Chain A
Amino acid sequence: MKYPSAFEVLTHSPGTMIGVTLVAVHVMVTLFAPVLIPFEETKIVGPVLSSPGSVENWLGTDNIGRDYLSRLLMGGRTSIFVAMVSITFAVLIASLVGISAAYVGGIYDDVVMRIVDTKLAIPGILFIALIVTGFGRSIPALTAAIALSYLPGAIRIIRSQALTIIPLGFVETAKLRGDSLPRIIWKELVPNCQEIIAVEFALRMSSSILTVSALSFLGLGISPPTPDWGLMIAEGVKNIHTHTWLILLPAAFISTLVIGLNLASDGLANALGLDAARGIN
């Protein structure tokens, strides 16, 4: 008798399939946006706030006359890029720090965990806002700020997974064999934390996309004239009563992407047997 493989579980859940499809569509649109868009996204091409449905500008124009469809399609690129890079850094560093802290223990573990606790006591958005205002509003600063803000939570989760593996016989055997610290971490611990690392990545991804959008909305994230969904919502607020779609469309793009990521990562966690991982954030 065999259990279904992770892949089978993944493909047999309708929710997960919807999530994967949503993410896939978003990824395709984002990747091919530069060739899909009818106009350059930062160029003024028509009258201000023209209505959708015209032959030239399918979705009309924004408040300074740029093609709205082009901006919408391009609007995810920067925030997805920032989220990807920052989460990749956060999860990689967290894996290294979390696993080594769990294994080495002692003062190293204590120091790491107290720093983590301290960071967890500061609200995330506030922390990022502080860094961005301190170091200037730039993409690298934003990326670093988000990576830093997600690091402690990820360290915690990965460390706790490592703690459950360390007392097991195969780790003790490696210790008794005299394997070096990096070798034990790389060969014995990391492979057994793979699942949690993958799920951590997927879950944090959606939340960091929301964070980037929120920051852009607040004027702390991506700067104009680069198109960004969060920024577009902020720009659309002035005309909320007359041109509601200027807000609704980017909002829909953000939410479909986040919902898709959440469904997909839930499915991934389920398939990998990590139901507990669903609870985080």
Chain B
Amino acid sequence: MQHEGLTEMLILELEGLTIGYRSVNREIVRVVDNVSFELEKGETLGIVGESGCGKSTLVRAIMGYLRPGGQILGGNVRFKGTSVLALKLRELQRLRGRQMAVVPQNPLSSLTYHMRVGDQIDEILQIHRGLNRHDARDETLNLFQATRLPEPAQIYRRFPHQLSGGQRQRVVISAALACQPSVMILDEPTTALDTTTEMQVLQLVKELSEEFDTAIVYITHDLTLTNYMCDSVLVMQNGKIVERGTALRVFKCPKEKYTQDLVAAIPRVDQPPRHKKSYVPEDGDALLEVKELSFAFRPAWSASTLFTKQEFSRAVDQVNFSVRRGETIGLVGESGSGKSTIANIVVGLLAPSLGTILLDGNPLSVLAKKRTFEQRRRVQMIFQDPLSSLNPRQRIETILTQPLRAFFGTSPRDARDQAAKLLEDMELPLRFLSQFPRQLSGGEQQRVAIARAFAAQPDLILCDEITSALDVSVQAHVLALLTTMQRKTGTACLFISHDLGVVREIAHRCVVLQEGCVVECGTTERVFTDSKHPYTCRLLAAASRQDGLRDQDKVLTN
């Protein structure tokens, strides 16, 4: 690239930015400490670090926003030469959205519940780009097409809760791209997405950034991603930059201990599991059998659906599989492949359209409230988002004793003792009993959720993406605890994940789903090393990007 107009090339400049928050005891805690970097037109910068390292505070500060209680202690943020921190609210508003766009981590919370997603993008186009309604609609459909949303016209009419996680994130990316910003900040945008979707989204972001010369700040905890996406990388820890360099160098030969640990904690699809799995007899009786399971969503209501016959799209289509006692089955597939739907049906939150579920050979009623007490106890579920799966108004003690008292009628005192025992099993301190979920970190919350599931002494636990909201190092710990508990109690586990590395690490057998159908099923090692179906091969290729695609890319662009 030619450096003719240096000032014009420079999009973003941070000089020793330091941000502090006043803690309860009036001390100032430095959340971002002396961070400097420069971002040129079309450049992609990765910022890597685990939760709590100050990444999100940094993003907000770049946009000229601080959470209440925060203050700039020093340094400056310059966007195309103007200091963002000195701008008035009016001027900031003109900058945000049009010149700088953010793609946040949780797409659901950045979309309005009550508006159709199409209208939400239209609104941006009308306000920021002054398009009329008709043009805005066309442009929105174009954006949806560009972000590869299936059937844009249908999606346009849907509400956020009717979309899958991947689709929501694409809608949010469409919104960010709507005004062709000169810098786009992506705050862990693909954490909740499966690998192939993630790759498509990243590919898309890359293409679009090249097309419009958009500079990108990519925030993530995943070093393999920055290796794929970014030109250069900053590694942050406790608000400070601990390492910086080109993406490839940092990933391949990290210098700092912290970076090395980060790289090591990433579960790899292309390497055999690091821990030996428990032994499960090949010919053991099936604990859970799922036969010919199908599920169809009703199409979204609209004027046209009144008069035309609608195609029912099947979210789950004639799925068969079984789980043996003590076994871990990995259920993998892209978002929208029906993994969560299957879990919800098995646990009894959704009624299947067709098919039967057998527990120990006895058919289960479709909905949880029709099942017997014992059946409900024997199948437990752990949810993706640990915080929302724990009642914020209950102390951990209440959360853990509830299942004990409901299922076993344990007396309050015994229940408390058992709850303490469960905390111990999860390597959590006893003082947590009197604390509330919000006072715990994400990993600790998820460990409480696991403890709650085991409190019922179930035969089968359904884990719906239980580590996707966690940092890699925390994830490793949570999974280790889960497998230890499983081994101790002989509980079987249906492990739903889009992270193939994790599945390879813990599942005995795995079932690969594509658009609601089982495309491949077998022992994990067989599926991962000798996959028969092209879809599985594609998933694996996307997941092992760190050693394939990117390196070639690098060579080509340099």
Contacts and interface: CB of A to CB of B under 8 A. Distances in A.
B269 to A, nearest CB: 28
Given A168-B389, A169-B389, A192-B392, 7 more contacts: A170-B388, A170-B389, A172-B383, A175-B369, A177-B407, A191-B393, A192-B391
B376 A192 contact: no
A234 to B, nearest CB: 42
Given A168-B389, A170-B390, A176 B347 contact: yes
B108 to A, nearest CB: 10
- Give me the 10 closest cross-chain CB pairs, A-B, nearest first: A169-B389, A191-B393, A169-B383, A168-B388, A170-B391, A2-B24, A177-B406, A1-B21, A169-B388, A176-B368
Interface in B1-56: 21, 23-24, 29, 31
11 contacts: A1-B21, A2-B24, A5-B24, A168-B388, A169-B385, A169-B390, A172-B349, A174-B402, A177-B456, A178-B373, A192-B391
A169 B24 CA distance: 31
B26 to A, nearest CB: 11
Interface residues on A, range: 20 to 34
B409 interface: no
A179 B406 contact: yes
A170 B381 CA distance: 11
Interface of B: 21, 23-24, 29, 31, 68-69, 113, 161, 347-349, 368-369, 373, 376, 380-381, 383-385, 388-394, 399, 402-403, 406-407, 449, 452, 456
Nearest to B452: A173
Given A2-B24, A170-B390, A170-B391, A176 B348 contact: yes
A169 B463 CA distance: 12
Which of B23, B393, B456 has the most A CB atoms < 10 Å from its CB? B393
Given A172-B349, A176-B381, A4 B389 contact: no
Interface string A29-58: 000000000000000000000000000000
A179 to B, nearest CB: 7
B376 A177 contact: yes
A109 interface: no
Nearest to B344: A172
A220 B48 CA distance: 68
Interface string A184-217: 0001100110100000000000000000000000
Nearest to A192: B393
A28 B391 CA distance: 38
B391 A178 contact: no
B369 A173 contact: no
Contacts of B393: 191-192, 194
Contacts of B399: 170
Contact of A3 (B69, B349, B394): B69
A212 to B, nearest CB: 33
B183 to A, nearest CB: 27
B24 A4 contact: yes
A191 B369 contact: no
Contacts of B347: 176
A176 B389 contact: no
B111 to A, nearest CB: 13
Contacts of A164: 113
Given A175-B368, A177-B402, A1 B23 contact: yes
A175 B394 CA distance: 16
A170 B400 CA distance: 12
B519 to A, nearest CB: 29
Contact of B69 (A4, A168, A191): A4
A15 B109 CA distance: 30
Contacts of B385: 169
A161 to B, nearest CB: 12
A187 B394 CA distance: 9
Nearest to A169: B389
A61 B407 CA distance: 72
Nearest to B403: A177
B395 to A, nearest CB: 12
Nearest to B379: A176
A77 B402 CA distance: 46
B376 A173 contact: no
A122 B172 CA distance: 39
Nearest to B70: A1
Nearest to A178: B376
Interface in A130-164: 164
A2 B23 contact: yes
A191 B392 CA distance: 9
Given A3-B69, A170-B389, A178 B369 contact: yes
Nearest to B389: A169
Contacts of B403: 177
Nearest to B371: A178
Nearest to A9: B68
A179 B373 CA distance: 11
A251 to B, nearest CB: 36
Contacts of A2: 23-24
B391 A188 contact: yes
